[in-house]
Structures are given as structure tokens and as C-alpha cells.
Structure 1
Amino acid sequence: MRPNFLMFIVDQLCADHLGCYGNTTVRTPNIDRLAERGWTSSNTYVATPICMPNRSSLMTGRMPSAHGVRHNGLPLGLEAVTFPELLREAGYATALIGKSHLQTMTDHAPLPDPRTPRRARDGARHYPGDYLQESVASWRGHEYPMSLPYYGFGHAEIGIEHGDDINGHYRQWLRGKCADAETWIGRSNALPSDYELAAVGQAWRTRVPEALHPSAWVAERTCDRLRAYARNDAPFFLYASFPDPHHPYTPPGRYWDMYRPEDMALPASYRSDTPPPHLAWLRRQRDAGRAHKTSMACFAATEREVREAIALNYGAISFIDANIGRVLQTLEECGLADNTIVIFTADHGEYGGDHQLLFKGSLHYRSLIRTPLIWAAPDARRVRENGLLSTIDIAPTILEAAGVEACNGMQGMSFLPSIQARPFQARDAVLIEEEGQRTYFGFDAPVRMRTLVHPRYRLSVYDGVEWGELYDRLDDPLECANLWDSAAHRGIRDALIQQLLRQAMAHPDTALSPLAVA
């Protein structure tokens, strides 16, 4: 019998913010139980720490340089082959509930590359189709007729944007539940709060009740799909994608003050390092009162802001955990648990006060680039895999577990042998690509960088500057001592730069090679 798949993904979660990854403050009992009865990865890293590109890498098993989604605002081509599409072609029922973010969510048309002036014609051919299906403007006031299958999902109910101000199918569902729902949503309707993050629009105390919050909607609609699948014989892949715990933080009801800022400990790296130039620039901006705190980008935060962010982040995570518990209970009640592989992961991490930073940006600290990855299945061995893995490895692993052949051009490797206690060789290093949109850090152009995560070291190089970063992950797990200019580590630095180059050369796009048409 072919297995079913129930995959939970959350938006922007530091792996260290889960009990099963060693956190003793946050309460995540349902996720922790998944880890206790399944296989857990300690060292899974993103292909890029940016939302749309890494979600596209998850769906395709391909690096951003191969699938073309270099940064947010560039949609995944509708011609892209995704692993849900391959599952669907093999007879699986496929469904997406929640955040997709494979197309741009803003009211703007898909963006050109920020380094290239707009010309009369782009150098790439554009695949025909509707690239405004996740745009808020498309959904304003009505339900938008999505084109199905959507990147391989035969059924799709999407949530667009962040916080409690979510559009798409969620807003239609909420309006059906309550006629005056619009008076509950958003910062302008929030309950009073004295949080500093509330003053800059990065948190608000929502009026939306727990049962009607976007996280509860994802759980409810996922449970409904499970009940429908229980009445059919076809195997399924069900993708439950929570828009939280992404900022702005809006945990509802009792989850807003479940954790008090004054009780939250600052990360160990908050005061312990000599910052590299771009981090020093962010701190100077803060100390001069010029920190830009109202966007999606990272900034150097005060102690109070960090404690608030951690408390509210934990509240959102605990609420997600409670809703995951609802879904897992429904899986059991429907008699599907014994033949369903349950997966939990995140699209990328976040700083959470690490090195005085909040949110995410072009500094590849572990808190940002490492994601949780749990695989709970009846045949999964209950161990922790310490070898290096990448986001692009998830797609081929799911396909192998389903008995479906991966497509040509898929660059990830299956880690199913590790799960099933068969001979397995993890990666000798992970390549991380980043093509930024923003010009900041004192740079003259948008940040462009590559990182190599080695079993012992992390190396990051930046386009247009002479300096870089090198950290000994064994002796300096907090990544506080930059060894880039260390004479004693010059040989190691040069060897890692060469390995990074070889990793880049090992990830060419073969999707249009002669093998594809042989």
C-alpha cells in the first residue's frame, strides 16, 4: 500500500525555538511527540534564507539558480515541475491548505532584477499563465478563480500575507463565519498594547478570536480534507502551511501573553561578539536612531524589542502546536495514521535576537539558515540524523518514499536511507545562495552572497567587498569570532573557498540537457 503524506510547514521558524530541539521555555508538546516517535534532522539547511526562492526549492528540489526564483517578487514559473505534480501524475490526491508564496503576494507585478534596468524585452522566455493568483489585489472583495492544478496541487486553499491580516481563501472563510470580521482584522483594529514592537507595526494584539485565527483556519480546513480523504481509496499528499510565526506577531487570545517579555532570556550571542562590517553597520544605525524597523527586513534591536519578539514568537508557535495537535487527532480518528508519513519543517529560520538581530536578512547565522525537519512514520527509526542536508533534499525523499521517480534536473538527494536505517552518506557540505533585493548594510548594490556550510566551518563570501566570514562551528557554535583574516586559518579559508566553487559547479541545471530528450 502506498503511503499517505501529511506535511506541516511553518513560516520563519528558528529550529532552536522548539522543545524537541532543546528549548526549555517554549511549549510545543505535539511537535515534540512527532520527534519522539520519528526521525529528526539536526543539520538541515536552506537553499536560500529567502521565502519565495526557498519554497520554490522545496517544491522543485532545485537550487534558486536553477529554478529562477532568485528573490521575492519573482514567481516560480508555471512550467516548473514540482514534486506534488509528480505525485499527482502517479495517482496521489494533492492539496495545499494555507500559505503558498510561489507567486508574488503584493499588488505589484512580478519584479525585474534590481541590478538590471528594465529593457524592452527580458532575456528569458516567459511561460504563459496567471501569475497574479496570490496577489492581494486579485482577492480584494471576492474569491479569485484559481487555475488548478496549482503547481501540482489538485486542490488549493491559500492564505496571503502575514499576521492576522490574511487574504485569499482565509478571508472568504472568515467572512462566512462572521459578517463583521473586517472590524477585527489588522493593526488599526487591534486591542491596546504597550509593546515597543506594536509601536512600529511589528506586532499587535489581535481582536480575532483563537478559533478564527489564520492558524486555526489552516488546521480546520486540513482536518476537513483528511475526513474527505478517509472516504476515498487514493493515497494523498496534504500540505498544511501555516503563515505564522512570521512577523508581524499576532498570536490570538491567551497566546498573546502566554509568555512574558521580562521572563525571556536574551540569546547567548547577544553581547558576545565582535561584529563583521555589515552587522556593525546595522548596530550603528540603531544606536544613531536610524534603524528601519517597519519593513520585513532585519534590524539591530534593543534588549526590550528582542524580549518582546521572543515572547510573541513563542506564543505564535505554541498556538501552531495546538492546532497541529488538532490535525493529528483527526488523522487518528479517520483511521489514517498507520499509513501516513507526517513531516514537519519550516521555510527558513529567523534571528530571534541572535547577535542583536530580529527577523531575517543577509547574515547567514545558524538561527536563520537551519530549519527543523521531522519525519514521523511507522517504519522511521527513532534517531537524530546529524549529517548535513539541504532543503532541496526533501522533494526526492518524499518521491522515493512514494515510489515515484524523480524528474531530470532535480538536484537534491534522498535521505530516505537514513530514515530506514540503510547505508547513507550525508552531504560533505551545503551550498546556500542569496540574491538580495535590498541595498543596505552600507553596500552600493543589493546583497549578493554565497555560503558554504561544512561539518566544522561556515564560510560566507559577498560580491563587491574584500572581506567575508569564516566561523569554526565546533569551537565557536555561536559564530562570534570571525576567522576570515586569521593568519592561522588562511589555508582553511582558501580550501573552503575552493570547496564552495566546486559545490557551485556541482549544481548545474540539467533540465534542458540532451538527457532530457534522449
Structure 2
Amino acid sequence: MKIKRIKRSGFLSSALVALSFLFTTQLAAQDSRPNFVYIIGDDISQEDFGCYGHPTIRTPNVDLLAATGMRFDNAYLSTSQCSPSRCSIITGRYPHNAGSPELYQYFGPEQVVFPELLKNAGYYTAQSGKWHLGKEPKRGFTFTKEKKTGAGGEDFWVQVLQERPKDKPFFMWFAAHDAHRGWNPDKDGKPHTREEVVVPPYLYDCPEMRDDLAKYYDEIQRFDRYIGLVVDELKKQGVYENTCIIVMADNARAFPRCKVRLYDSGLKTPFVVNWPAKVKGGQVCESLVSSIDVAPSLIEAAGLKSPVNFQGVSFEPLLKDPTTRTREFVFGEHNWHGHIGHERMVRKGDYVYIRNAHPELIQFHSSGRDDPGIPYFELANAGKLKPEQMDSILQPRPSEELFKLSNDPNQFANLAGNPEYSQVLKEMQAAMDEWQQRTGDTVPVLKDATPDKSDRITNAVLIKGARPKGDFDYPGKSTQANLINDPGPR
């Protein structure tokens, strides 16, 4: 009996050693999974970083991430509107499919959010800074710190990194309030001057515009500085090499022809990926990428399988070879943002097509047009505005627009009525028709749609509160688009 007991003891001891080795191996494998730091700015245009060619805005930290990582030149948002854009990113779905096509509409419990998948897979997930994703419980996050601290809301970022558990891979959702209107001076940085301002051709160049843009530049400078502090902390912790850092924005700057608009000046986002262990530095990717691609990309980079709910496609192959192609089309949408709107955009190759269901209406972002105090209607009546500077007061608008980007990067010359491009127009129309049909996109009848909050000319308040109260129609409501997973053409 003693001999058997000894053998049994030896067997158990060996088994425990084997199990311990297996557990340690699995833990080590888990620990080797990549970390993710996702950083999203507020109302920042692609061209407003040094790495994208801006000559004066001081963004040394993002520029360095681009120089040692990959810069994406054709990354598009699914919408250029605050909360719909963020809901789209976190669910990997178009706004009308996420149940959040309009401002202050948010995704529901039926939606899958990618941080939750990471959390369930053993990642430590934390959110700090601006949320703007509604009251839906932050089920994807182990820790949240939504409270705004500091002028730009970034003050907790480094602390959140420092206080994370060190035995788990991590995902951080760091969201800034910079550079949203309601400018806050950058007390720790050098202010930009009027002389340093580059006024885009579609904005009216005057002292008020230059002062407004300079304040906007200052907020980007602060945003960039906090990104540098995050990178420094990752290096101090020895985890920088295995951390995938993504820097982007939710929509373009809050100026005319930018925020809420579907031109490249509204939908193109800065998009920089820095991941020393996986991404060779100094690369530029010209392939199309959509903001709905973030969710499947990070999930698959973590070694997980994307759920059928995600309508985006992983851009991970581009990190290995930026010359490859993961999608043929990108789509964008503009819906209610204080005013009724229903516009759709598709880009394929060198062409952008925009469809407007309500060409009779002025389309603009109210604070972007009116906050600087520039009298656009008076200037237009006096003949002082160029055609491209009248976007925020244009009435009626074209019902269709077609642009060839290689000849017209600013998208000023509408080719929709040009017979030479009739075949291209038909192809783009067909792609749009298919996308709207397959994704369940609908156009609300004006009398049933969410009404305007303010007058489109005077901006006088018509309805108080974040959203008008009532059972209004919105894109995708009648088709239950929030339950449709078909991504349409990609």
C-alpha cells in the first residue's frame, strides 16, 4: 500500500507541475497579446496636423507617431457628427444600423461594442475623457473616468495607465474634449497667431476667422501634448513596443463646409497607427479605410473573431502591406444635427458621389457658422463670398454631386451634369442604391422627421433641449436597421 501511495503522490506531484506549467504558458501567451490605446479627438480635421502637411500647427507628438508608424491618407468617417460617429466606431456599424443616426441618439442593448469583447477575453478595459455615447451602461469597460479635468479633458489619461493591473493586456479609450467649440486657452503652450493661420479656400478670410482658427489650433496643440505624455508613460512601463496606438477624430473641425458635411473636408479623418512590434515606421497608406473598420481590426489583432454584427472590415492586412486593398467603397451619412438633413456619400477610386434627399434646405453646422460672428448672409448679398464659401447658406443645394478628386481635391466642380461622366455617375448611383437597400437606410418624410431646433437663417432657438420630444421618424426606423447586419458593398 505504501508503494502505491508513493506512486500516487508522485503522479499527483507530476500532474500539478504539468498543470502549473500549462497555466504559466497560457498566462504568458495571454500576456503577449497586444495592448491597445485608442485616442479620439473632438472636431479635428485631417489636414490640421503637421504629418498631414499643415505648416504651422504644433503637433510634434502625433507627427512622431506617424513618422515611426503608419499614416492613412484616405481614412473616412461614417458620419461627421459627434455622437453618431462615436456610436458607429464602437459598434463597428453605420450610424443608422447602430440605432444612432441622429445627434443625441445612442446605441441600444442589442448592439455589440468591441471593448466588451476585449473585456470578456481577459483584457483590462478603461475609458477616460469625453463619452458622448449616451446613458447605456459602459458594459465594455472595467474602469471609467468620464469626469472632465483640465481644459481639454485629458488630465486623467496618464493616471489611468499608471493604475491599471500589470498582469493583463489592456485597451484604453482616451477621448478628448479638444478641439470642440467653446475654446479653452492652452495655458501650457504657445498661442498661435493670426499670421500662422492657414485659411482654407472655402472659408472667408478675415480677422475674425483667423482669430477663431488660431484658438482652434491651440486646442489641437494641447491634444497633441497629452498624446506625448501617454506615449512617454507607455515607454516608462516598458509596454510601448507591444502597444497599438490609434489617433483619429470623431468628425471634422466645427467650421463651414467641415463638421456635418460629406465632402472630404468633413468626412476625412486623421488616422495614425503606431505599433512598433508590428508596423514598420514611415509608411503611408493610400487605401480606403472606414471608421467602422476600427472594431473588427482591433478584435482580430487581439486574436479574436469578429461577430456578424460588425459591418466594417479589418484593416490589419494594410498594416503589413499598405499597398493592398481591403475595401472598394466607403460610405458616409448626414442626418439630423439640430436641423433636418439626409445626405449620403460614397467614394470609389478617384470619385466621390453625394446624394441629398432635401436639396431645398440650407445645410450647416450652427455654431460653426455663427459663433465666430461672421455675417455670411450679408457678405453674400454684398457679393463678397466666393461660390465655395457659401456652403453654409446655399439654398437650394444640388440633389446630386460628383467629384473627380485627382482634378478637384477640394470638391468645388460638380460633374453630376457633365455628359462625359454619365457612366461614372450611373455606377456611383447604383452603388448608393444597393447600399441603402441592403443596410435598410430610409428617408423620413419631412412632416414626420425630427424637427429643426433653430431657424436656419437667424439661428434663433425654436425648440429647447438636446432633442425635440416626440415619436419622430428617422433613417432606418421603419426597416429596423439596428438589427440589420448586411454591410452593403465594401
Of 382, 394, 399, the match for 1:467:
399
| Local SS of the residue matching 1:324 | helix
Contact kept? 2:124, 2:170, Cα under 8 Å: yes
Q: 1:324 matched to which residue of 2?
A: 227
Q: Which residue of 2 aligns with 1:458?
A: 352
In structure 1, give the amino acid aligned to 2:242.
Answer: N
Give TM-score, length-normalised by structure 2: 0.72
Match of 1:61 in 2: 92
Kindly provide the amino acid, as one letter, of the partner of residue 251 in structure 1.
P
* CA apart distance, 1:241: 0.6
Question: Is 2:328 the partner of 1:428?
Answer: yes
Which amino acid letter does the alignment assign opposite residue 259 of structure 2? Answer: K
Is the Cα–Cα contact under 8 Å of residues 418 and 424 in structure 1 kept in the other structure?
Answer: yes
- Decide whether the 8 Å contact of 1:223 with 1:330 is kept in 2: yes
Query: CA 1:401–1:433 in 2, change beyond 3 Å: closer, same or farther?
Result: same
| TM-align CA RMSD | 2.3
In the alignment, the residues of structure 2 paired with residue 474 and residue 339 of structure 1 have an alpha-carbon distance, to the nearest angstrom, of 37
Per-residue CA deviations over 1:171-202 (Å, capped at 9, x if unaligned) read xxx6xxxxxxxxxxxxxxxxxxxxxxxxxxxx
Give the whole-Å Cα distance in 2 for the aligned partners of 1:314 and 1:367. 16
The answer to whether the 8 Å contact 1:258/1:315 transfers is: yes
1:350 aligned onto 2:253? yes
CA distance in 2, matches of 1:71, 1:318: 30
AA partner of residue 48 (structure 1): T
Native 8 Å contact 1:247 1:359 kept in 2: no
- Report the secondary structure of 2:171's partner residue: strand
Distance 1:373 1:422 in 2: 13
Which blocks of at least 5 consecutive residues in structure 1 are unaligned? 104-129, 132-146, 159-168, 175-212, 271-300, 440-445
Is residue 2:144 matched to residue 1:241?
A: no
The share of aligned pairs that are identical, in percent, is 29
Aligned position for 1:393: 293
Q: 1:228: which partner in 2?
A: 163
Tell whether the 8 Å contact from 2:314 to 2:326 is kept in structure 1 after alignment.
no
Q: Which moved more, 1:375-384 or 1:463-472?
A: 463-472
- Equivalent residues in 2 for 1:6-155 (5 A)? 6-103=37-134, 147=137, 150-155=138-143
Q: State the alpha-carbon separation in 2 of the partners of residues 317 and 65 from structure 1.
A: 30
State the match for 2:343 in structure 1.
Answer: 449
Q: Say which of 170, 184, 192 aligns to 1:259.
A: 192
Kindly indicate whether structure 1 or structure 2 has the higher relative contact order, using CA contacts under 8 Å at least 6 residues apart: 1
Q: CA deviation at 1:152?
A: 0.5
Unaligned runs of 5+ in 2: 1-31, 360-397, 441-480
1:351, 1:368 within 8 Å by CA — same for their partners in 2? no
Q: Who is 2:466 aligned against?
A: none
2:345 aligned counterpart, secondary structure:
strand
The alpha-carbon deviation at position 232 of structure 1 amounts to 2.2
- The aligned length equals 375
**Equivalent residue in structure 1 for 2:269, among 347, 371, 377:** 371
1:10 and 1:241 in contact (8 A); partners too: yes
**How has the CA–CA distance of structure 1 residues 482 and 394 changed in structure 2, closer, same or farther, with 3 Å as cutoff?**
same
Tell me how far 1:423 sits from its aligned partner.
Answer: 8.4
How do 1:402-417 residues align onto structure 2 when only pairs under 5 Å count? Answer: 402-417=302-317
User: Residues 487 and 438 (structure 1 numbering): CA distance in 2 closer, same or farther, change over 3 Å?
Assistant: farther
Larger Rg: 2
1:136-180 C-alpha deviation (Å, 9 max, x unpaired): xxxxxxxxxxx5xx141121111xxxxxxxxxx23xxx6xxxxxx
1:502 and 2:434 matched: yes
Which range is displaced more, 379-388 or 500-509? 500-509
- Paired AA for residue 421 in structure 2: H
SS at match of 1:214: coil
The aligned counterpart of 1:488 is 420
Distance 1:464 1:326, change over 3 A: closer
Give 1:156's aligned residue. Answer: 144
Question: Does structure 2 retain, via aligned residues, the 8 Å contact 1:381–1:421?
Answer: no
The offset of 1:426, in angstroms, is: 2.9
Say whether the 8 Å CA contact 2:112–2:309 is kept in structure 1: no
Partners in 2 of 1:269 and 1:13 — Cα distance? 16
Q: For residues 454 and 322 of structure 1, do their structure 2 counterparts lie closer, same or farther at Cα, with a shift above 3 Å needed?
A: same
Q: Give 1:513 deviation, angstroms.
A: 7.8
1:411 and 1:507 in contact (8 A); partners too: no
Is the CA contact 1:11–1:246 (under 8 Å) kept in the aligned structure 2?
yes
Instruction: State the partner residue of 1:161.
Output: none
The alpha carbon displacement at 1:44 in A equals: 0.6
SS of structure 2 residue aligned to 1:396: helix
Q: Distance in 2 between matches of 1:15 and 1:401?
A: 25
TM-score (norm 1): 0.68
Equivalent position amino acid for 2:251 in 1: H
Query: Once the 2 structures are TM-superposed, how far is the Cα of residue 506 of structure 1 from its aligned partner?
Result: 5.0
Give the 3-state SS of the residue equivalent to 2:434 in structure 1. Answer: helix
Aligned to 1:3: 34
Matched residue type, 1:487: P
437 and 28 in structure 1: CA distance in 2 versus 1, 3 angstrom threshold: closer
Question: Quick one: structure 1 residues 423 and 406, their matched pair in 2 at CA, closer, same or farther if it must change by over 3 Å?
Answer: farther
- The Cα of 1:83 is off from its aligned counterpart by 0.3
State the AA in 2 paired with 1:157: K
Alpha-carbon distance change, 317 to 513 in structure 1, aligned in 2, over 3 angstroms: closer
Hey, what's the Cα distance between the residues in 2 that align with 1:153 and 1:76?
16
Cα deviation for residue 265 of structure 1 reads 2.8
The Cα of 1:234 is off from its aligned counterpart by 0.8
Change (3 A) 1:346 1:510: closer
CA contact (8 A) 2:125 2:142 kept: yes
Separation in 2 of the partners of 1:447 and 1:311? 30
After TM superposition, give the deviation of residue 464 of structure 1 in Å. 3.7
CA shift for structure 1 position 512:
6.8
The alpha-carbon distance between structure 1 residues 39 and 265, as it changes in their structure 2 partners (threshold 3 A), is closer
Alignment counterpart, residue 184 of structure 2, candidates 218, 242, 250: 250
